Amino acid sequence: MELVGLLPTELLDRALTHASWVGSRTGSYERLEFLGDSVLGLVIASALYERFPGSDEGEMARQKAFVVSRTSCVQVAEQLGLSGLVLERAPASEVRRREIAGSASTLGNVLEAVIGAVYLAFGFERTRAATIDAFEEQLVYAATSHVDHKTALQELLAPRGLQPVYTLVADKGPAHARLFTSEVLVSGVIKGRGTGTTIKMSEQAAAREALTALEEPKRGS
């Protein structure tokens, strides 16, 4: 993402500043991370909508959850060399810079903060183009490969401090043709229900339905 190198010094420094380095959390990257998370979600949602007119709502929700997941953000952060940028530019001691550069999950946060900073400096269209370019590999994978719905759901919930809980609610049919039905709960609320010829398949189906359900409040907001 070439635009990172063109960022004003103040914005770049803020995007690389961990909350533990400053007296007030508002002086860290967290506000930019909040903004960047929303920008990233809109960029990827719009890219999926344009690229795959044949994909239904559930399929796009699954793809988006994978592309914006913490795992994907960490991968892109590594591809962009953000650990090196932290080591070189972050406004802190070398020891602190090394701690952050060595933390994969923190680098994912830094990536979102950088996206937020790029958006403020250069506007949505330039940020969109640069972000799609950076996440191209994840977009292609989500569209052409099998993505684990359960993993995608877990990645979607993790930043909120939530975990999915799967429950087998039905087991029917003869031994050679069993049919299992599972439900997935989030904070005690059923978010998805699915059926399959194995328990794992029924959980995957439930997770896929949950991904769609969890996207609905965002679209309505």
For the annotated catalytic residues, the residue numbers are 37, 112
Kind and range of the H or E run holding 195: strand 189-196
| 59-77 core/surface letters (b: 16 or more CB in 10 A; e: else) | bbbbbbbbbbbbbbbbbbb
CA dihedral 209, 212, 217, 218 (to 10 degrees): 160
Beta bridge partners of 179: 172
In three-state secondary structure terms, 192 is strand
8 A C-beta contact, residue 10 and residue 17: no
Place of tokens 């506007």: 123
